Amino acid sequence: MKNISIAIDGPAGAGKSTVSRAVAERLGFVYIDTGAMYRAVGLAALNHGFDTTRAELIVPMLETTDVDIRHEAGGQKVFLNGEDITNKIRTPEVSVAASDVSAIPQVRLKLVELQRALAASRSVVMDGRDIGTYVLPNAEIKIFLTASPEERARRRFEELTQKGVKTDYESVRRDMEYRDANDSSREFAPLRPAEDSVTIDTTEITQEQSIDCIYNFIIEKIQGR
């Protein structure tokens, strides 16, 4: 059977990672969280004490920044220069840093090369901001997953609280507004639905309902090919 690429894009807090991971598991596909790669670069910049909006600092850093995605028994692991940083990249500070560095073309070019290589030899569910429009423009199935800004902020706040991250709803909402504006307005590969994508709004449905909805949609598309 020919490898199949599924692209799931959408704004911060839309539930892409959770839904994509669950759908990939049901399908028996490999899940690739591209946002984790940008978080890794953002964390690297923070570790250096850099202003994450300054390309003149970030671009030279890329020469000594190695990001790797590995799939192990416990799921996807993210490595930065050989260190497992999977549990270090979900803080609000790293989220903002990831959005900043993702606006730098050289960062995107470096990571897109890795993302395309990962998708070339296997069936994948890949989520991010520009998968269907730029990373995998020929993906067989493209979904744009979204929800209202208020609902996305509420979900992210609950997620962070459950992980023991100290924050408050208003801070999360402000960070999300910043990321939405940053991701949508960048000149290189901005966040937007692909012309041939299907938009699914999950504001009024639960996480499990979202997973079922997208899984069933994908199965119908695959069977109809």
Residue 1 pLDDT? 61
Q: Does residue 27 lie in a domain region?
A: yes
User: In CATH, what number is assigned to the domain containing residue 61?
Assistant: 3.40.50.300
Residue pLDDT, tens place only, 84-119 = 999 999 898 999 999 999 999 999 999 999 899 989
Rounded to whole angstroms, the Cα distance separating 7 from 136 reads 7
What confidence category does residue 163 fall into, taking pLDDT thresholds of 50, 70 and 90? confident
pLDDT band at 70 (very low <50, low <70, confident <90, very high): confident
> What is the Cα–Cα distance from 6 to 204, expressed in whole angstroms?
24
Query: What percent of the chain shows pLDDT beyond 90?
Result: 73
- Residue 225 counted as domain residue: no
What is the structure's pLDDT at 72? 80
What would the two tokens of residue 101 be? 């560095």
In 10 A of CB 199, how many CB atoms?
11
Task: Answer yes or no: is 221 within a domain.
Answer: no
Predicted confidence at residue 187, as pLDDT, reads 85
Owning domain of residue 179: 5-216
Helix residue ranges, H only, 14-91:
16-27, 34-47, 55-61
Residue-level pLDDT at 197: 96
pTM to 2 decimal places: 0.84
Quick one: which of 208, 195, 206, 70 has its CA closest to 142?
A: 195
Can you tell me the distance from the alpha carbon of 49 to that of 56, in angstroms, rounded to the nearest whole number? 14
Q: Count up the domains in the chain and report the number.
A: 1
| 142 belongs to a structural domain | yes
Three-state DSSP class for residue 198 = strand
Residue 6 pLDDT > 70: yes
Tokens of 132: 């269907």
How confident is the model over 37-61, as pLDDT tens digits? Answer: 999 999 999 999 999 999 999 999 9
What pLDDT digit, counting tens, does each position of 142-159 carry?
999 999 999 999 999 998
Q: What is the mean pLDDT of the chain?
A: 92
> Would residue 18 count as lying in a domain?
yes
CB 71 within 8 A of CB 28: no
223: in domain: no
Dump pLDDT digits (tens) for 201-217.
999 999 999 999 999 99
Residue 115 lies in a domain: yes
pLDDT of residue 225: 67
Is 64 inside any structural domain?
A: yes
More confident residue, 223 or 59: 59
User: Which value, in Å, is the radius of gyration of the alpha carbons in the chain?
Assistant: 17
